[in-house]
Amino acid sequence: MDKAYILENGIIELYLLGELSTDDELVLERLLLEDKELKDEFDSIEANFEALALENAINPPTAVKENLINSLSRDASKVIPLPKKNPYKSYLAIAASIAALIAIGSVWMYSQWNDTKEDLQIATEQNFSLSKELESLKDNLENTSEYLAVLNSADTEQYILKGNALSPSAKLVSYVNHKQKKVIVNATELPELDENHDYQMWADVEGEMINMGVISKDSQLLAMNYINNAESLNVTIEPLGGSYHPTVSRLITNVYL
């Protein structure tokens, strides 16, 4: 299809009337882009076609335009249709809500369970420490009642050991019960020692010093070992934890029984 053929066979008219095949239309459109003269001819025929119609125009009733514009707004409203109530969807929503509630509930219960577990552990620990405390209190009470029994006994004799020149302010009260073979001392008025030394108590039996025990730094009343046939009670300052043999040069007090 060339220019001469197009002009000869009225191809442009056929094109404008919409009678050409799609292929021929494409060929003509391409030629129109290339050929100015052909394009001018095309424009002229097209203008005449339009003029022909304008001359023979017939006014349609106004209702047509009104209907047209109305159908546009109807179309516009169709574009955003109201969401349809889908019962299946609402069941889904309900199911999802329940699942969400259960999930939230589970998380809450899990955290509650963890809290409770912690609380229980704390309570168990407290219980344990309380029972230990109770035990020590019981021990304490036993000791104390035992001491009290000893101190209150008519058979108990009280000896006060006063410090010598090495420790003039020292004072130790000792209670000796030969019947029950008990020795209890009150060490509250012994001067404090440095952390590397302890007071230790000794019994003198026929010239030999026998260990009665280290005087604990943190008890007021404490029981010492009762030694048979002791002639005197002696207190020395010893290295921490006490010694096997008394450091006689550091004897601070003694009393004869």
Partner 1 sequence: MLNQADLITNLKNKDEAALSQLYDAYAPAIYGVIIRMCKDEQHAQNILQDTFLTIWEKSHQFNPEKGKFYTWAYRIAKNKTLNFLRADKKLIQTEDLSVYKDREEAVKTDTDFLQLKGCLNQLEPHHKKALELVYFNGLTHREAHEEMNVPLGTFKSYIKQALKKLKLSYNKTMVWLLILIEMVR
Footprint on this chain of partner 1 (rule: CB under 8 A): 9-10, 13-14, 16-19, 29, 44-61, 63-65, 67-69, 71-72
Other CB atoms within a 10 A radius of the CB of residue 199 amount to: 24
In the bound state with partner 1, the residue whose beta carbon lies nearer, of 71 and 145, is: 71
In the bound state with partner 1, the residue whose beta carbon lies nearer, of 16 and 173, is: 16
**Residue 47: helix, strand or coil by DSSP?**
helix
Cβ-proximal residues to 185 (8 Å cutoff; 6+ apart), any chain: 172, 173, 174, 175, 201, 215, 221, 222, 224
Shortest Cβ distance from residue 84 to partner 1 (Å)? 24
Q: Kindly calculate the radius of gyration of the chain based on its CA atoms and give it in whole angstroms.
A: 60
Relative orientation angle of helices 36-55 and 22-34, to the nearest 10 degrees? 120
225 neighbors 252 (Cβ within 8 angstroms) = no
In the bound state with partner 1, the residue whose beta carbon lies nearer, of 8 and 195, is: 8
In the bound state with partner 1, the residue whose beta carbon lies nearer, of 60 and 207, is: 60
Q: Distance between CA 204 and CA 248 in Å, rounded?
A: 12
What are the distances in angstroms from CA 34 to CA 31, 40, 70, 230?
5, 12, 44, 142
**Residue 212: helix, strand or coil by DSSP?**
strand
148 neighbors 222 (Cβ within 8 angstroms) = no
**Residue 82: helix, strand or coil by DSSP?**
coil
Tokens of 156: 């108990």
Shortest Cβ distance from residue 82 to partner 1 (Å)? 21
Shortest Cβ distance from residue 56 to partner 1 (Å)? 5
Q: Distance between CA 234 and CA 118 in Å, rounded?
A: 55
In the bound state with partner 1, the residue whose beta carbon lies nearer, of 70 and 188, is: 70
Shortest Cβ distance from residue 30 to partner 1 (Å)? 11
Shortest Cβ distance from residue 38 to partner 1 (Å)? 13
Shortest Cβ distance from residue 88 to partner 1 (Å)? 33
In the bound state with partner 1, the residue whose beta carbon lies nearer, of 66 and 231, is: 66
Please measure the distance between the N-terminal and C-terminal CA atoms of the chain and give it in whole angstroms: 151
In the bound state with partner 1, the residue whose beta carbon lies nearer, of 57 and 154, is: 57
Shortest Cβ distance from residue 111 to partner 1 (Å)? 55
